[in-house]
Structures are given as C-alpha cells and as structure tokens.
Amino acid sequence: MQLTDLSFEQHFVSELPGEAEAEPFPRQVHGACYSRVRPTPVAAPKLLAWSEDCAALLGLSGTIDAEMCSEVFAGNRLLPGMAPYAACYGGHQFGNWAGQLGDGRAITLGERLGQEGIRYELQLKGAGLTPYSRNADGRAVLRSSVREFLCSEAMYHLGVPTTRALSLVGTGERVLRDMFYDGNAAPEPGAVVCRVAPSFLRFGNLELPAARGDQVLLAKLADFVHQSLFPEISGSGAEAHGAWFGEVCRRTAVMVAHWMRVGFVHGVMNTDNMSLLGLTIDYGPYGWLEGFDPDWTPNTTDLPGRRYCYGNQPGVALWNLARLGQALGGLGVTEDAVRAGLDDYKLTYEATFGIMLANKLGLDSIEEESKLIDGLFSLLQQVETDMTLFFRRLAEVPMNEDLPPWALEPLVPAYYSDNPPGTELMAWLELYRTRLAAQGVDEAQRRARMDAANPKYVLRNYLAQQAIDAATAGDTAPLNRLLEVLRQPYAEQPGQEDLAARRPEWARNKAGCSMLSCSS
C-alpha cells in the first residue's frame, strides 16, 4: 500500500480530554492529557533514510514516493485522518520532581492499525514548537536524529523492546545548539525522525496529574492505559490498575535485562523517558559499553553522580517504578499492590538476566555458578575489555578438550590494552571449561546459544558518529550501510567486519564517539 492510501485513527485524542488547537506558546496545561498542535513546516525536506521493516509494520510496502514521504514525515503535509497533538506529562529528572515537561518537540500525527492488528502511533520528533517547548526551539539536530533512527532499529533487531523508527528527514534548516555547553552555540543541520510505537505514554504522563492532585484526569488516563495498553487485564478500578502496574514492572525488568545483555546505556533514565509498555524510548545521549565498566555513563550531564551509568540501570528502573506506583496510589492502588509489583520487578529481572547470562556463556544455567560469574566480571574490569567482542569471541575458544596453547588468541582483539590478562584468563577459561563439562554442554550447543545471545554488530558510538559526519557532508551511504548491517546483528556478514571492530584509539575521547551531551 502507498502512503496516501493509508487510513489513520485517533483513539488517544478521541478518548481523553485535551486542549483545542492554540498558539504553541509555553504554558502550564491543566486538566488535559494533550494539546492539539500542528507540526511547523520546514524549508526543504529531504528523505535521508527509511526503514522498510518499520514501514512493513504499518502496511506500507513497495517503492515509496520519496517526495511524498519527505513532505509527510517532515510535518509539512498532513494526510486525511491525522489529528496531530503533543502529550502533556511530567517527570522525575535525576531524582527530583521536575513538574510539567511534555512533548516539547514531539508531535504525534495519528494512529494506524498495522500488522497483526496492532495499533501504532506515528510521532514526529523535531517537528516544531508545542505548548511544552518551554524555552527551547522544538527542533532536533541531524546528529541526534541519526542516532535515534539507527539505534531504534538496531535495538529492535537485537531483540530489545523498543520504539521503532520509520524515517529520517533532513529539514533543510539550521538549528542552533551549544553542543559542549561552553557558550559556543553553532548552527547545525536539522532533521525530523518519525518514530513508531503502540504508545509513547510514559510514567510521567500519570505522575503529572497525580502530583497536581487532579484525580479526575489521573483516573481517566489510568483507565485508558488499562483498556488500550493492557486489555488482557480484567476487572476495573484500583485492582486493575495494580495489576497492570505489575505488568509494567515485569516488562521494564525484561527491557533493562536486555540493555545489560547487549551493553546499552540509556543515559537519561528520567521517569519521563520510561515507557509504560516497557519499551526503550527517547534515544538521546545513550551509548554502548565498549570497555566493560559498570560505572560508565555516556551522558556528560550525568557525570557528577553517574546516576545513569551501566551498572545502576536495574536499580534506577526500580526507583522509577516506585515513582509510578506512588502516582497510582492516588487511585487507591494499595501499598501492598505496589510492593508486589516492585518485588515482581526484582524477581523478573534476576530470572531474565540469569537466563541471558547463561546463554551468553552457552551454559544451561548459572545457578551455583557464582564463582564463575564473579570471576568473569572481575576479569572484565581488570584490563579494559570490549564487552561485545569478548562474549562473541569467547565462543571461538575451543572448550571440548584441554585448552590449547593458542586458547587466548580469539580473545586478543577484545583487549584495548597491549597486556591482556594471561594467567588469570587461562585459569578462568579452565574453570569455564569444567563447568561446561559438568553441565554436559557440547560445543555445537554452546556456540549456537552464544551466537544468538552475543551480537557481533552493535551501534558503537564511533560508528554512529561516522555515519553522522558523512550525512552532514551530504553522503547518506554509510548511514544506510549501518542500517542494513544492524538488521542482522547476530549474523557473521562477511565483508562487513570493519563494523564489528573494536573502537579505534582516535575515537576514545572524540566528541560524539565517547561522551555526549543532552544538547540534541
């Protein structure tokens, strides 16, 4: 089906109270879940990238009309049935209640019934001012848009719950950004990403009416969440809300376990960036662990406390869920129900991550393997070790007989240091070998498990930056090549080995390749 043949729906706007369209001047919006607002047209939209997989979800297939797509997904043209709006939400940022935030530059165009009867929202990010833009411009720069576009699709193919990305459109306009927060703002090319998800509702959508004591709005929104996002949960009122809260807890646990499995660090786990569907949402200053370091955060704004570092993610998600539970307390959800949900989070996280870790090592289970696991994590931190390469290449070390003298060779590329651990690594491999034997895991089984759990290709920060540099210079080929390779992150893909390489030294401290700011 072609774009202009698509029909759109508007459950969110038709079922919930909202503000009628008005000038998008900054304001506090009360008693409404959203404000009707149109995208601000851009000067010269140009389609830079397109995800066919995501298009297929929506029932879009065949050759696309690039001009039409660029017009629609830049926000210059609305299709029949679209009813654009920006959502109103609040959030806890870096541990503190921040009051009203809202979609400051995201505008949902409409919903569409897609594959398997799932309804998807189409949302433009960078589409212009809304009542929630505060003192900002409602726009997004090309660099952050490339990063959101690529990572959304990469995460999906890695098997991580995530919002999706359909398109990346250059606006032909410049946006002023102070990338290093040093007073040197500079114009950068602008872009718009069309994101796709069954819902973009966040913990913060419920937290805001709860914090304002708006019981009526809170109840309406919670009923909507129950009926549209968790229709399988029966009953109504506080009991049902407690039940779907439990489901949010379990889904969040699974999402974070996947992040930990693949070495993804979100970077801004504020409650306004936590999806009620347990999807990874709002790709900003995220990053991928290269050297394994639990304290690593990609976000320069997070540096003082490292609240959102890799190792803190499971705990922060729990803290965020507690804030959501607190908000639901206003609807009569009991403390016991909230506690049960949070306990469920912990149990689900432990169980899910345990299975993932077992698969990463090709083992049946990691129960009773604490010596092996503790030894592994201490080894990974002793010398700077690339997490992705280490696990992927561990599958290449033969484990069916006595370790050969060359046993360490497959692992050498995983080390950023010239002095990989020798004796200790050998000792750990020996322990690993005995545990595999004790569990009766054969080599073929081990390899199959490991290759399905340990990606070869992840969106390394420097790879994203190279795609950004090229796209900024007008060449979208590297971006589209990355998109294609990241569609099969667990496959070997001969000829694409350079995209699986360890981070080169020049990228260690280069802007965009290691640390990022929120300025997007």
Residues known to be catalytic: 272
Of 103-111, 236-244, 256-264, 432-440, which segment contacts ligand AMP by CB under 6 A?
103-111
To the nearest whole angstrom, how small is the minimum distance from the Cβ of residue 141 to Mg ion?
15
Is 241 one of the binding residues for ligand AMP (CB under 6 A)?
no
| 3-state SS assignment for residue 197 | strand
To the nearest whole angstrom, how small is the minimum distance from the Cβ of residue 334 to ligand AMP?
31
Is 148 one of the binding residues for Mg ion (CB under 5 A)?
no
Specify whether the CB–CB gap between 241 and 233 falls below 8 A.
no
- Which residue from 103, 111, 148, 282 is in contact with Mg ion, where contact means CB under 5 A? 282
- Which residue from 152, 162, 273, 465 is in contact with ligand AMP, where contact means CB under 6 A? 273
Q: What is the C-alpha to C-alpha distance for residues 142 and 171, in angstroms, rounded to an integer? A: 9
Of 101-109, 112-120, 331-339, 433-441, which segment contacts ligand AMP by CB under 6 A?
101-109
Among Mg ion, ligand AMP, none, residue 136 binds (CB under 5-8 Å by kind): ligand AMP
Q: What is the C-alpha to C-alpha distance for residues 443 and 455, in angstroms, rounded to an integer? A: 18
Nearer to Mg ion, 260 or 269 (CB): 269
Of 265-273, 287-295, 338-346, 481-489, which segment contacts Mg ion by CB under 5 A?
265-273
Nearest-10 crossing angle of helices 335-361, 237-262: 20
To the nearest whole angstrom, how small is the minimum distance from the Cβ of residue 327 to ligand AMP?
17
Three-state secondary structure readout of 139-188: CEEHHHHHHHHHHHHHHHHHCCCECEEEEEEEEEEEEEECCCCCCCCEEE
Q: What is the C-alpha to C-alpha distance for residues 207 and 237, in angstroms, rounded to an integer? A: 17
Among ligand AMP, Mg ion, none, residue 138 binds (CB under 5-8 Å by kind): ligand AMP
Is 103 one of the binding residues for ligand AMP (CB under 6 A)?
yes
- Which residue from 284, 314, 489, 512 is in contact with ligand AMP, where contact means CB under 6 A? 284
Nearer to ligand AMP, 71 or 282 (CB): 282
Three-state secondary structure readout of 289-305: CCECCCCCCCEHHHCCC
- Which residue from 33, 37, 221, 268 is in contact with ligand AMP, where contact means CB under 6 A? 268
To the nearest whole angstrom, how small is the minimum distance from the Cβ of residue 103 to ligand AMP?
5
Among ligand AMP, Mg ion, none, residue 133 binds (CB under 5-8 Å by kind): ligand AMP
Among Mg ion, ligand AMP, none, residue 364 binds (CB under 5-8 Å by kind): none
Nearer to ligand AMP, 132 or 462 (CB): 132
Q: What is the C-alpha to C-alpha distance for residues 165 and 230, in angstroms, rounded to an integer? A: 23
Which secondary structure element, helix H or strand E, spans residue 238, and what is its range? helix 237-262
Nearest-10 crossing angle of helices 443-453, 387-394: 160
To the nearest whole angstrom, how small is the minimum distance from the Cβ of residue 280 to Mg ion?
12
Is 163 one of the binding residues for Mg ion (CB under 5 A)?
no
Q: Which of 312, 349, 356, 354 is nearest to 454 (CA)?
A: 356
Q: Would you call 410 exposed, middle or buried from its count of C-beta atoms within 10 A (0-12, 13-18, 19+)?
A: middle
Measured CA angle at 489 (ends 202, 366), to 5 deg: 80
Is 273 one of the binding residues for Mg ion (CB under 5 A)?
yes
Nearer to ligand AMP, 85 or 244 (CB): 85
To the nearest whole angstrom, how small is the minimum distance from the Cβ of residue 270 to ligand AMP?
6
With b for 16 or more beta-carbon neighbours within 10 A and e for fewer, the 87-123 pattern comes to bbbbbbbeeeebebbbbbbbbbbbbbebeeeeebbbb
To the nearest whole angstrom, how small is the minimum distance from the Cβ of residue 453 to ligand AMP?
30
Residue with token string 């996947």: 258
For ligand AMP, the binding residues in 125-144 under the rule CB under 6 A are 132-133, 136-139
Is 348 one of the binding residues for ligand AMP (CB under 6 A)?
no
Measured CA angle at 356 (ends 350, 357), to 5 deg: 85
Is 313 one of the binding residues for Mg ion (CB under 5 A)?
no
| 3-state SS assignment for residue 46 | strand
Nearer to ligand AMP, 71 or 188 (CB): 188
Among ligand AMP, Mg ion, none, residue 263 binds (CB under 5-8 Å by kind): none
Of 170-178, 234-242, 269-277, 398-406, which segment contacts Mg ion by CB under 5 A?
269-277
The count of other CB atoms within 10 Å of the CB of residue 409 is 12
Q: What is the C-alpha to C-alpha distance for residues 450 and 455, in angstroms, rounded to an integer? A: 9
To the nearest whole angstrom, how small is the minimum distance from the Cβ of residue 103 to Mg ion?
9
Q: How many residues bind Mg ion (CB under 5 A)?
A: 2
List the beta bridge partners of residue 107. 124
Is 24 one of the binding residues for ligand AMP (CB under 6 A)?
no
Specify whether the CB–CB gap between 520 and 484 falls below 8 A.
no
Q: Which of 340, 363, 417 is nearest to 385 (CA)?
A: 417
Of 46-54, 211-219, 282-290, 397-405, which segment contacts Mg ion by CB under 5 A?
282-290
Nearer to ligand AMP, 272 or 386 (CB): 272
To the nearest whole angstrom, how small is the minimum distance from the Cβ of residue 464 to ligand AMP?
17
The count of other CB atoms within 10 Å of the CB of residue 440 is 8
Binding site for Mg ion (CB under 5 A): 273, 282
Binding site for ligand AMP (CB under 6 A): 101-105, 132-133, 136-139, 268, 272-273, 282, 284, 518
